[in-house]
C-alpha cells in the first residue's frame, strides 16, 4: 500500500534513508542540504535507525571518511551542497576511481562568486567528469524514488561506482509537496542487504586500497572505470524497471513530456521541468506543438537516446542552470548538441542559461522560449547562441 | 591494557608486517617507524593500516605490489585521519550488526607534511571525535617526497629547497610547530613523542600503549631522512641519539592529560652535537654564524624548560 503524505525534498530523502538504514554516514552541514544530516542524527538519537553518523569537521573529511567506510565494507552515504561538494573535489575522484558504491544526496546550490545559497547546478556540473553517476529529480517524489534506486545501481557487480542523487536547493529540498511513499518491507527487499565482494575488513582476506600506479598500469584502471560507466546505462534501466514493478512509477534516462509529435522542445534538468510542463500545456491548447525532454540521467550521458527523442523537432532550446564560462554555453548545451550532431538530428538549437543563483523562472519565461523557438525555426529571427533569460534589465 | 613487558628478542622475532621489497631508501627513518609500530601489535591481532600520500605510500603500495601483510588504505595526502576514521566507524557499524566478529586495530601513518600541515584539520577532527585509532606521524621535518621543501615541522635554519640557505638567507626563518602539544590539547587519552633509541624500547612501549589504549592516540616519531638531512645512512642512530641527548627531541608522553618525561639526559649536550651531523645545517658552522647556533640553543633550552615544567 502506498502511503500518501506531504513532505519536502529533504524530508523525502531522509525517509528513504530511514528505510534503507545505511551503515555509515559522514556529513558536514551546508545549506540547503543541512536538514538531511539533522534528520539522520535525530533518527539515530531516537533509535529509529542503526546508522553510525560521523560528524566530520569538513566536507573533505566527509568524503574521505566515506571512502574509508565504504572500502571497509559498509554501505555508506553522505549529503552536501555547493561549496561542500567543491571542497570534496579531490576525493570525489578518489571515491569513483576506487570503485566505491557511495551514495551522495546532493542538494544543488550554486558555487560561490558571489556567495549565494540558492538552486543552481554549478556544483554537480562541476563534478560531472569525476566518475560519479548523476541522477536528477524534478520534485520530492523523484528525489525519494531515485534515492531508493541509488544503491542498487552503485553496488551492481557491473558498475561499482558512486552515485549522486540530485535535487534543486530550496525549490525541491524545502518546498512541501504531496508524495507517495512505499512501505518499509518492500523497500528493504528492493534495496537488499549489502554483501560486498572485497573489503578491508573481510575475514581471511586482507586487501590494499588506493595504490600508487605508474604509467604502465594507470591508464588501464581509468579505462576499466570508463567501461563501468558505460555498463551503468543498462543497469540504470534494469533497476528502474524493477522499481516500476514495486511502485508503479516509471523511470528512464529521461522523461518525454508531450514530445512525440513536438516541433519545438525544451530540454532541461530539475525543478524547472514542472514549470515547463505548465507552459507546454498552455501552448498545446493554443495548438503549438511544444514538448519537453527532461533529463534524469546526466552521468552516464545517454546522448544517443536524448538525440533520438528530439528527432523530428524543428527547434530545441537546451536549458542550463549553470554557467561554464566557456564563452559557448553551458554543459548540457555542449554535450547535447554534440550528441545531436553525431546522431544527425538537425534541429535548430539554442543554449539558454537560466535560473542562476535561484533566479525564478516563470511559465511566462518558458512560453517566451517557445515563442523564440518558433521564430527561430521560421527563420524570422536569429539568436545569439547563448542567451540568458530572466536577467534584470 | 595488556602485557607491557618488553622482551626484545620476542618482539624482534615477530613476523614482519611491513615486508621486504618496498622501495624506501636505505637509512630511511620512516620505514623504521612503520616496522616497529606494527611490531607492537600483538601477534594474531588484526589491523587496518592507513597512509597519507608521501614517500611511504608511493614506495610501499606501488601497484600491483603491496608491502603490507594487513589491510591497507591510502586515499590522499591531507586526509589520512578522516579516511581511517571512516574505516574505524565502518568496523563499529558492521560489528554492531553482527557482520564482523574479529577484533581490529586501526593505525595510520603520515609524514610531517601530511600531518603538521595539509592534514592537520583532518587529524584534529578524527582525534576530537574519539575514534579508536592511532595516528603516527613519522616526522622527517620537510616534504621529502616532492624534494625536500620546508614544512611547519622543519627546524629553524634548516636548508631546504623552499627555504634555501644563501647569501641573503640562513635557511628556514620560522620556528618549528610543536605538534605533540597541539594534539595533547585535544585531551585525547594518549600522546607520545619518541624516536629510535637503543633497543627501541621507548618506541615499542609507546606504540603498544597507543594501539591498546581505547580512543584516539597520537605518536610523533622523529624519523630522519638521509636525502633531506644529508647524512650517511649508518649515522641515523647517532643522529636520533643526539636529538634526544641535546633535548632537541625529548621523549615524553601525555597520558589522560598527565605529562610524563620518559628520559632526562644526565648531561644535556650542546645543540651542535645534533646539528653538525647534518648537511642541512652546514651553513651554520661557517665562521661568523655563531649567533645562529646560539639562537637555536636558546630556543631548545626554552622548550626544554617548558616541558620540564609541564612534566612537574
pLDDT tens string A28-38: 999 999 999 99
ipTM confidence: 0.97
Q: To 5 degrees, how large is the angle CA A257–CA A262–CA A268? A: 50
Per-residue pLDDT tens for A115-165? 999 999 999 999 999 999 999 999 999 999 999 999 999 999 999 999 999
- What was the pLDDT predicted at A1? 79
Tell whether A224 and A154 lie within a shared domain: yes
The residue out of A197, A212, A247 marking a domain boundary is: A247
Cβ-contact B244, B203 below 8 angstroms: no
Select from A23, A24, A56, A65 the residue whose CB has the most chain B CBs within 10 Å, as the one to mutate to test that interface: A65
Tell whether A229 and A281 lie within a shared domain: no
Instruction: Check pLDDT > 80 for residue B61.
Output: yes
Per-residue pLDDT tens for A219-263? 999 999 999 999 999 999 999 999 999 999 999 999 999 999 999
CATH number for the domain harbouring residue A351: 3.40.50.920
- Which of A52, A64, A209 is nearest residue B82 as measured by Cβ atoms? A64
Q: Is residue A367 part of a domain?
A: yes
Tell whether A70 and A215 lie within a shared domain: yes
Interatomic CA distance for residues B297 and A113, integer angstroms: 49
Ramachandran region of residue B215, left (φ > 0), alpha (ψ -120 to 50) or beta? left
Q: Is residue A386 part of a domain?
A: no
Distance in Å, alpha carbon of B203 to nearest chain A alpha carbon = 26
Mean pLDDT of the residues in chain B:
97
Instruction: Check pLDDT > 70 for residue B4.
Output: no
Ramachandran region of residue A53, left (φ > 0), alpha (ψ -120 to 50) or beta? beta
Tell whether A155 and A212 lie within a shared domain: yes
Q: Is residue A194 part of a domain?
A: yes
Q: To 5 degrees, how large is the angle CA A119–CA A125–CA A131? A: 135
Instruction: Check pLDDT > 80 for residue B5.
Output: no
Q: Is residue A23 part of a domain?
A: yes
Using an 8 Å CB-CB cutoff, list chain B residues near A24: 86, 89-90, 93
- Which of B73, B102, B121 is nearest residue A68 as measured by Cβ atoms? B73
Residue A118, exposed/middle/buried by CB under 10 A (0-12, 13-18, 19+)? buried
CATH number for the domain harbouring residue A85: 3.40.50.970
Per-residue pLDDT tens for B143-173? 999 999 999 999 999 999 999 999 999 999 9
Strand order in the sheet with A315-320: A254-257, A290-295, A264-269, A315-320, A348-353
Which H or E run contains B258?
Answer: strand B258-261
Using an 8 Å CB-CB cutoff, list chain A residues near B72: 200, 206-209
Tell whether A14 and A47 lie within a shared domain: yes
Q: Is residue A163 part of a domain?
A: yes
Is A44 an 8 Å CB contact of chain B? no
Instruction: Check pLDDT > 90 for residue A377.
Output: yes
Q: To 5 degrees, how large is the angle CA A170–CA A90–CA B107? A: 115
Query: Do residue B93 and residue A74 have CB atoms under 8 angstroms apart?
Result: yes
Closest chain A residue to B48, measured at CA: A200
In degrees rounded to 5, what are phi and psi of residue A322? -170, 135
Instruction: Check pLDDT > 90 for residue B2.
Output: no
Q: Is residue A77 part of a domain?
A: yes
Query: Do residue A64 and residue B57 have CB atoms under 8 angstroms apart?
Result: no
Residue range of the domain that includes A169: 3-247
Tell whether A309 and A359 lie within a shared domain: yes
Tell whether A198 and A111 lie within a shared domain: yes
Q: Is residue A271 part of a domain?
A: yes
Query: Do residue B85 and residue A54 have CB atoms under 8 angstroms apart?
Result: yes
Instruction: Check pLDDT > 60 for residue B3.
Output: no
Tell whether A365 and A240 lie within a shared domain: no
Strands in chain A per DSSP E: 3-7, 24-27, 52-55, 77-80, 103-108, 133-136, 163-168, 177-181, 208-209, 254-257, 264-269, 290-295, 297-299, 315-320, 348-353
Tell whether A313 and A363 lie within a shared domain: yes
Tell whether A85 and A215 lie within a shared domain: yes
Query: Do residue B76 and residue A52 have CB atoms under 8 angstroms apart?
Result: no
- What was the pLDDT predicted at B170? 98
The residue out of A228, A247, A266 marking a domain boundary is: A247
Tell whether A228 and A330 lie within a shared domain: no
Tell me what the mean pLDDT of segment B193-207 comes to: 97
Tell whether A219 and A262 lie within a shared domain: no
Query: Do residue B124 and residue A57 have CB atoms under 8 angstroms apart?
Result: yes
Closest chain B residue to A66, measured at CA: B86
Q: Is residue A190 part of a domain?
A: yes
Per-residue pLDDT tens for B23-45? 999 999 999 999 999 999 999 99
Per-residue pLDDT tens for A46-88? 999 999 999 999 999 999 999 999 999 999 999 999 999 999 9
Domains: count for chain A: 2
Query: Do residue A64 and residue B70 have CB atoms under 8 angstroms apart?
Result: no
Longest dimension (CA), chain B: 69
- Which of A50, A91, A200 is nearest residue B87 as measured by Cβ atoms? A200
Tell me what the mean pLDDT of segment A258-279 comes to: 98
Interatomic CA distance for residues B213 and B191, integer angstroms: 10
Amino acid at each position: 500500500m502506498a502511503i500518501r503524505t506531504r513532505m519536502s525534498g529533504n524530508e523525502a530523502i531522509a525517509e528513504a534513508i530511514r528505510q534503507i538504514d545505511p551503515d555509515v554516514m559522514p556529513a558536514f552541514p551546508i545549506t540547503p542540504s543541512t536538514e538531511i544530516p539533522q534528520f539522520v542524527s535525530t533518527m539515530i538519537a531516537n533509535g529509529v535507525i542503526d546508522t553510525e553518523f560521523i560528524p566530520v569537521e569538513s566536507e573533505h573529511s566527509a568524503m574521505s571518511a566515506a571512502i574509508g567506510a565504504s572500502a571497509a565494507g559498509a554501505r555508506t552515504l553522505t549529503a552536501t551542497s555547493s561549496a561542500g561538494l567543491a571542497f570534496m573535489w579531490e576525493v570525489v575522484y578518489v571515491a569513483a576511481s576506487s570503485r566505491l558504491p557511495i551514495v551522495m544526496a546532493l542538494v544543488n546550490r550554486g558555487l560561490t562568486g558571489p556567495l549565494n545559497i540558492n538552486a543552481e547546478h554549478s556544483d554537480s556540473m562541476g563534478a560531472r567528469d569525476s566518475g560519479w553517476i548523476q541522477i536528477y529529480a524534478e520534485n520530492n517524489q523523484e528525489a525519494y524514488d531515485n534515492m531508493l534506486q541509488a544503491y542498487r545501481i552503485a553496488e551492481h557487480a557491473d558498475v561499482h561506482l558512486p552515485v549522486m542523487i540530485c535535487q534543486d536547493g530550496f525549490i525541491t529540498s524545502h518546498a512541501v509537496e504531496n508524495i507517495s511513499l512505499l512501505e518499509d518491507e518492500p523497500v528493504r527487499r528492493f534495496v537488499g542487504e549489502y554483501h560486498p565482494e572485497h573489503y578491508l575488513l573481510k575475514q581471511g582476506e586482507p586487501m590494499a586500497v588506493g595504490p600508487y600506479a605508474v604509467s604502465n598500469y594507470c591508464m588501464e584502471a581509468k579505462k576499466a572505470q570508463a567501461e563501468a560507466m558505460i555498463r551503468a546505462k543498462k543497469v540504470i534501466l534494469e533497476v528502474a524497471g524493477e522499481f516500476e514493478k514495486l511502485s508503479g512509477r516509471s523511470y528512464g534516462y529521461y522523461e518525454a513530456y508531450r514530445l512525440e509529435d513536438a516541433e519545438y522542445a525544451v530540454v532541461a534538468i530539475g525543478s524547472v521541468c514542472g514549470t515547463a510542463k505548465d507552459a507546454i500545456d498552455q501552448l498545446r491548447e493554443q495548438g503549438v506543438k511544444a514538448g519537453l525532454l527532461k533529463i534524469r540521467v546526466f552521468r552516464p550521458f545517454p546522448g544517443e537516446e536524448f538525440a533520438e527523442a528530439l528527432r523530428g523537432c524543428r527547434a530545441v532550446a537546451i536549458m542550463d542552470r549553470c554557467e561554464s564560462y566557456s564563452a559557448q554555453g553551458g554543459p548540457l548545451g555542449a554535450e547535447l548538441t554534440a550528441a545531436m550532431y553525431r546522431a544527425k538530428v538537425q534541429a535548430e538549437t539554442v543554449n539558454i542559461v537560466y535560473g542562476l543563483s535561484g533566479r525564478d523562472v516563470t511559465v511566462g519565461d518558458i512560453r517566451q522560449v517557445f515563442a523564440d523557438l518558433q521564430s527561430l525555426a521560421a527563420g524570422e529571427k536569429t539568436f545569439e547562441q547563448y542567451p540568458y533569460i530572466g536577467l534584470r534589465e | 591494557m595488556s602485557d607491557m613487558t618488553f622482551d626484545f628478542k620476542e618482539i624482534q622475532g615477530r613476523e614482519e608486517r611491513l615486508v621486504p621489497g618496498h622501495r624506501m631508501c636505505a637509512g630511511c627513518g620512516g620505514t623504521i617507524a612503520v616496522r616497529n609500530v606494527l611490531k607492537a601489535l600483538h601477534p594474531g591481532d588484526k589491523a587496518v593500516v592507513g597512509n597519507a600520500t608521501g614517500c611511504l605510500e608511493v614506495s610501499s603500495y606501488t601497484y600491483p605490489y603491496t608491502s603490507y601483510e594487513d589491510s591497507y588504505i591510502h586515499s590522499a595526502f591531507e586526509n589520512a585521519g578522516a579516511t581511517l576514521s571512516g574505516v574505524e566507524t565502518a568496523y563499529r557499524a558492521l560489528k554492531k550488526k553482527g557482520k564482523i566478529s574479529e577484533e581490529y586495530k586501526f593505525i595510520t601513518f603520515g609524514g610531517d607534511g601530511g600531518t603538521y600541515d595539509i592534514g592537520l584539520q583532518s587529524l584534529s577532527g578524527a582525534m576530537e571525535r574519539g575514534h579508536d585509532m592511532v595516528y603516527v606521524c613519522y616526522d622527517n621535518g620537510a616534504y621529502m617526497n616532492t624534494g625536500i621543501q620546508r614544512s611547519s615541522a622543519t627546524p629553524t635554519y634548516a636548508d631546504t629547497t623552499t627555504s634555501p640557505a644563501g647569501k641573503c638567507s640562513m635557511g628556514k626563518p620560522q620556528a618549528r610547530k610543536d605538534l605533540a602539544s597541539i594534539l595533547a590539547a585535544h585531551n585525547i587519552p594518549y600522546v607520545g613523542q619518541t624516536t629510535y633509541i637503543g633497543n627501541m624500547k621507548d618506541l615499542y612501549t609507546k606504540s603498544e600503549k597507543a594501539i591498546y589504549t581505547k580512543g584516539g592516540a597520537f605518536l610523533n616519531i622523529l624519523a630522519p631522512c638521509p636525502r633531506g638531512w644529508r647524512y650517511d645512512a649508518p649515522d641515523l642512530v647517532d643522529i636520533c641519539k643526539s636529538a634526544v641527548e641535546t633535548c632537541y627531541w625529548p621523549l615524553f608522553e601525555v597520558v589522560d592529560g598527565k605529562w610524563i618525561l620518559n628520559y632526562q639526559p644526565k648531561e644535556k649536550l650542546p645543540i651542535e652535537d645534533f646539528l653538525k651531523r647534518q648537511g642541512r645545517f652546514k651553513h651554520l658552522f661557517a665562521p661568523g654564524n655563531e649567533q645562529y647556533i646560539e639562537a637555536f640553543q636558546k630556543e631548545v633550552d626554552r622548550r626544554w624548560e617548558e616541558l620540564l615544567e609541564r612534566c612537574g
